[in-house]
Structure formats: structure tokens, C-alpha cells
């Protein structure tokens, strides 16, 4: 029975494949038959992981084809794949053995016609318009005479040269160029980053050398091209950056017949880049002519006004009397008053004298003076009495105070306080003596330690160990070459100094004994 179960040979001559072998055969077959195919369909799921690859689905009404766009190919695409877009993909079919499925490796991709792009553009336009990004109420007027103009375009194209040439002809201004790619996959990201970068600049520019000024107006410019070429300016990221820009923005993308979504979000749309430069600045010659005309009008108006006021002044002056006529009456009245003044003063003095003698002089007689003196004397007596009473009251209060303090000033209290103070003084003296003794002991210990250190470090301790100091002419000799010939020297030992004389040659030193070699290690 077991033999029957173990026998798996059914008698068929069909070859057996492993799973890997069969997957490899299928992979080679599919890649060989479909090494280059073009597929038209609608983009379904679009996934962009951090690796940079793009995973998507091509579908129609009946089937779905898994597809992949490798990172290098994705960076070269002229468009950004989005869900719902109808495209034509070119590539090769292959299999993915890990999941037993086949997929299309896309090598190029293009929209399935202008109609598909326009349909997707219209859909995006409606969605952004519903958010209010295209409302005319949010658009701001352009500054009349900007000091700095920011231009976002390719630095190598003819667009920037046309803009600079037009600005130079109309009104030379400072231009700051932000170079970007104006076509391809990287176009949208760079244009949006440029708009946001200009808006991030503070007034006066960042701390750099030289500082980058903040533009007063921005120009996003590109030359004409197909719908695919201008597609980067239809991306949502660019439209939102233009709508959120705090700096007024002029869109000059394509020719007059080309319309992109950034044109609708910008504050002003120019048909061409040259027209954008004309919108940004006025004509300097026209301004100068206008200013000259206004200055002439100002001068003429001032001259006419001055002439009218002068004529009016002359007319009014003729109606006024002469200065002599106005002053003649005042002069006559002044002369009359001056002539009558002495008599009036004499009369007034006499009148006042009579009034003083008759009415008021009696009030200042001797009796009135005596009465005043008596009143002042009485007031003085009353003040003296009050002062004496105050002195007596103060004396009585002081006597009472002394009587209250007298019991507290007994001799035994003073003696007790004196004894307490003497005890405190003796304790303080004892404590001060003890502290002084401790300080002297510490200083003695430190002095002893320093003396021991001095003896240890002194050269005399070295002499006690058998060494000597040689001096010649008062100088310490440290080299034999310093002694020339027979020179008197002085040798200092630990117990004194002796005089000596140099001469002869010292015996040659014995060579040091060579120590026996050590046994080498076995390791």
C-alpha cells in the first residue's frame, strides 16, 4: 500500500519545472515577444514613494495593466503623470516573479492628444477656481515705479534679453533674475520655489554680501511653445504659489494666444514677455516730458496768481487813505494833551493834598499813635506771661521725669552690669588668646614644613651626599672646557671651602661594564 502511495510516476512524459524555472521561462518569453510596445489608456492609481520611482496603473473599460517608471526615466518625462490622464506609454513588458504578475516598464510617456490635456486642464481650472484663486477681488494693482524687478525665467533664453532690453529703453531699473527651468518635469517645482523665495526675502535683503533686495514686482516669463511645453505653468503648485504671492506678479508665459493657469492666478497677464516689461515700468522719457509740462504749468500758474494778487493789492491800496492823513488827527490830539498835562498835574496834586488834610490826616495824630503803642505793649506782656508759664510747665515735667528715673539708677544695678561686662570682656580676651595661639601654632607648622622643603631643595643637602661645587673667579664652573690652563679654583664641600689649582689631564674614564645579555623570549 505504501509503495503505491510513494510511486508518483503517472506514466506521463511531460517535463517537470520548478517555480523559479517556470517564472524565468515566462519572463524571457514575454520580454522577447513584447520588448517594445505602445499602450494607450487612462492612468489609474499613481504612487510616488521616496525612492523616486513611479508606480501606476494603465486601464481601460475591461482591463488594468500595472506599470512602473524608474527614477531616471521619471525625471526626463515632459509631463507629470496624474490620475485620470489619458496617455500613450511606450516601453517593454516584463514579469515580477515575486507576485506572479506582469507589468509594463515605461520608457516614455506622452498625453494621448491635446484633447486629453485640455480636458484635464479644464478640470483643474474648475477646481482651483472653486477655491477662489482666480477671483478678481484678490488681485492687486502693480506699483507705478518699482525700484527692483524680480524676473523668473531661463537665464540663457531670448526672453530675458528682450525683457532687459525693453526695461533699458523705457526706464532702467534694478533687475534680480531667479534662474529656473521653463520646460519639463522640474519646471513647476523650480518656478514655485522661485516665487516663494522672492516672497521670503525681507525688506532690505538678507545678511549677505551683497544683500539681495526684495522685489517690488515679479515677472514670470517664457517664450511660446506647445501645450506640452507650457504644461509646467499649469501645475497646481505653480498656481498656488502665484496666488499666495504677497508681491504683485505679472505672468508672461507663451504668446498672446497661449493661456495657462498661472495667467489666471497672477495679478496681471501680459501677452508677451516684452509686454510684461512695458507693464512693469513707465516710459522714462514720457515721465520727464510730463514733469516738464507740469513744471511749466506750475510756473505759469504761480506767475498768474502773483500778478492777480499784485493787481488786487494795488486796487485796495488806492482806496485806502494816505499814512499822513491817518496820523494827522492822532498827532494833533497828542500835541493838545501834551500842552494841558502840566496844568492837570498841578491841579491834581492840589486836590489830593486838600483831601489828605481834611479827611485822612486826622487818623494819623499823636493820640492814635499812643493808642497803638499801648496795644502793642499789652500784647507783649501777654506773650511774656505765656512764655513764663510754658517754662514753668517744662521744668515741672523734667522734675517728674527725673523722679521717675531716680529709682532705676541704684549703685547695685550699676555694679551688677559692670560685673557682667567684665565677665564678657574676660571671655573675649580668653577666646582671642586661644585663637592667637592656634594661629601661631599653624604658622609654626607651616614654617617648619617650608624649612624642611628648603633644606631638601638646597644645594647644600646635595653637598652632604658627597658632591662639591667648583667656582672660578666667583662663578660656578659646570664644564671642564671653561677652565683654561692652570687657573685657581675654589671647591665647596658640605663642611667648608678650599682653594685648589688646576693642571694635568684627568685619567680617561673607564668604559662602562656591558651587562650580560638577557635571555630572549620564546614568544
CB-count burial class (<10 Å; 0-12, 13-18, 19+) for 222? buried
Is residue 242 helix, strand or coil? helix
* 301 pLDDT higher than 70: yes
Task: Name the packing angle between helices 273-280 and 158-170 (round to 10°).
Answer: 30
Q: What angle do CA 294, 297, 299 make, to 5 degrees?
A: 110
Write the pLDDT tens digit of every residue in 97-131: 776 778 888 988 877 765 666 777 788 888 888 88
Distance CA 444, CA 29 (A): 107
Q: What is the pLDDT of residue 266?
A: 92
Which CATH homologous superfamily contains domain 19-111?
Answer: Nucleic acid-binding proteins (2.40.50.140)
Question: Hey, where are the domains in the chain?
Answer: 19-111, 138-282
**Counts of helices then strands in the chain (DSSP H, E):** 14, 14
The DSSP call for residue 480 is G
> Which residues lie closer than 8 Å to 160 by C-beta, 6 or more apart?
151, 153, 154, 177, 221
CA distances from 438 to 51, 435, 441, 443, 466 (A): 82, 5, 5, 9, 41
In 180-287, beta strands by DSSP E = 217-222, 249-253, 268-269
Among the ranges given (147-156, 364-373, 448-457, 495-504), the one the predictor scored with the smallest mean pLDDT: 364-373
Question: In which band, very low, low, confident or very high, does the pLDDT at 58 lie, cut at 50, 70 and 90?
Answer: confident
Question: In which band, very low, low, confident or very high, does the pLDDT at 364 lie, cut at 50, 70 and 90?
Answer: low
H/E stretch holding 38:
strand 37-47
Give yes or no for a contact between 385 and 391, defined as CB atoms under 8 angstroms apart. Answer: no
Write the pLDDT tens digit of every residue in 16-41: 777 777 777 777 777 777 878 888 88
CB-count burial class (<10 Å; 0-12, 13-18, 19+) for 491? middle
Q: What are phi and psi of 296, to 5 degrees?
A: -65, -45
Give yes or no for a contact between 254 and 226, defined as CB atoms under 8 angstroms apart. Answer: no
Peptide bond into 210 cis (omega under 30): yes
CATH topology of domain 138-282: Rossmann fold (3.40.50)
Distance CA 281, CA 144 (A): 7
Distance CA 483, CA 478 (A): 10
Is residue 57 helix, strand or coil? strand
Q: What are phi and psi of 514, to 5 degrees?
A: -80, 120
Distance CA 82, CA 79 (A): 9
Q: What angle do CA 361, 365, 367 make, to 5 degrees?
A: 150
Q: What is the pLDDT of residue 18?
A: 77
Task: Using a cut of 0.85, tell me whether the model's pTM lies above it.
Answer: no
Amino acid at each position: 500500500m505504501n509503495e503505491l502511495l510513494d510511486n508518483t510516476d503517472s506514466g506521463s512524459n511531460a517535463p517537470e519545472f520548478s517555480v523559479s524555472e517556470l517564472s524565468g521561462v515566462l519572463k524571457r518569453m514575454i520580454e522577447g515577444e513584447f520588448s517594445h510596445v505602445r499602450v494607450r489608456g487612462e492612468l489609474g492609481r499613481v504612487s510616488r514613494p521616496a525612492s523616486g520611482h513611479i508606480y501606476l496603473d494603465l486601464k481601460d473599460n475591461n482591463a488594468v495593466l500595472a506599470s512602473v517608471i524608474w527614477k531616471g526615466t521619471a525625471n526626463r518625462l515632459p509631463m507629470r503623470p496624474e490620475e485620470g490622464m489619458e496617455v500613450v506609454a511606450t516601453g517593454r513588458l516584463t514579469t515580477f516573479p515575486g507576485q506572479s504578475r506582469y507589468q509594463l516598464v515605461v520608457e516614455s510617456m506622452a498625453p494621448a492628444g491635446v484633447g486629453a490635456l485640455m480636458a484635464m486642464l479644464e478640470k483643474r481650472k474648475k477646481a482651483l477656481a472653486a477655491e477662489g484663486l482666480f477671483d478678481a477681488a484678490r488681485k492687486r494693482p502693480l506699483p507705478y515705479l518699482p525700484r527692483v524687478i524680480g524676473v523668473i525665467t531661463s537665464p540663457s533664453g531670448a526672453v530675458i534679453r528682450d525683457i532687459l532690453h525693453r526695461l533699458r529703453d523705457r526706464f532702467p531699473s534694478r533687475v534680480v533674475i531667479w534662474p529656473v527651468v521653463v520646460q519639463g518635469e522640474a519646471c513647476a517645482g523650480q518656478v514655485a520655489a522661485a516665487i516663494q523665495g522672492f516672497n521670503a526675502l525681507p525688506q532690505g535683503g538678507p545678511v549677505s554680501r551683497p544683500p539681495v533686495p526684495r522685489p517690488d514686482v515679479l515677472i514670470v516669463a517664457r517664450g511660446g511653445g506647445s501645450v506640452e511645453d507650457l504644461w509646467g505653468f499649469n501645475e497646481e503648485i505653480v498656481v498656488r504659489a502665484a496666488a499666495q504671492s504677497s508681491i504683485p506678479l505679472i505672468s508672461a508665459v507663451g504668446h498672446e494666444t497661449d493661456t495657462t493657469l498661472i495667467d489666471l492666478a497672477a495679478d496681471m497677464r501680459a501677452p508677451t514677455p516684452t509686454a510684461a516689461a512695458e507693464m512693469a515700468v513707465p516710459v522714462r522719457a514720457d515721465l520727464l516730458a510730463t514733469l516738464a509740462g507740469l513744471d511749466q504749468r506750475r510756473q505759469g500758474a504761480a506767475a498768474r496768481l502773483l500778478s492777480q494778487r499784485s493787481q488786487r493789492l494795488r486796487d485796495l491800496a488806492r482806496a485806502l487813505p494816505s499814512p499822513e492823513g491817518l496820523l494827522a488827527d492822532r498827532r494833533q490830539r497828542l500835541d493838545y494833551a501834551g500842552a494841558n498835562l502840566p496844568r492837570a498835574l498841578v491841579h491834581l496834586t492840589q486836590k489830593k493834598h486838600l483831601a489828605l488834610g481834611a479827611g485822612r490826616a486826622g487818623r494819623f495824630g499823636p493820640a492814635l499813635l499812643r493808642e497803638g503803642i499801648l496795644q502793642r505793649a499789652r500784647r507783649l506782656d501777654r506773650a511774656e506771661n505765656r512764655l513764663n508759664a510754658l517754662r514753668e510747665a517744662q521744668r515741672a515735667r523734667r522734675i517728674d521725669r527725673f523722679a521717675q528715673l531716680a529709682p532705676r539708677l541704684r549703685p547695685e544695678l550699676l555694679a551688677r552690669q559692670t560685673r557682667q561686662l567684665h565677665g564678657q570682656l574676660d571671655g573675649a580676651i580668653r577666646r582671642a588668646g586661644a585663637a592667637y595661639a592656634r594661629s601661631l601654632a599653624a604658622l609654626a607648622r607651616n614654617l617648619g614644613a617650608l624649612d624642611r622643603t628648603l633644606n631638601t631643595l638646597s644645594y647644600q643637602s646635595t653637598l652632604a651626599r658627597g658632591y662639591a661645587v667648583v667656582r672660578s673667579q666667583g662663578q660656578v664652573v659646570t664644564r671642564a672646557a671653561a677652565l683654561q690652563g692652570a687657573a685657581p679654583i675654589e671647591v665647596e664641600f658640605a663642611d667648608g671651602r678650599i682653594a685648589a689649582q688646576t693642571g694635568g689631564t684627568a685619567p680617561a674614564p673607564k668604559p662602562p661594564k656591558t651587562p650580560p645579555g638577557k635571555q630572549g623570549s620564546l614568544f
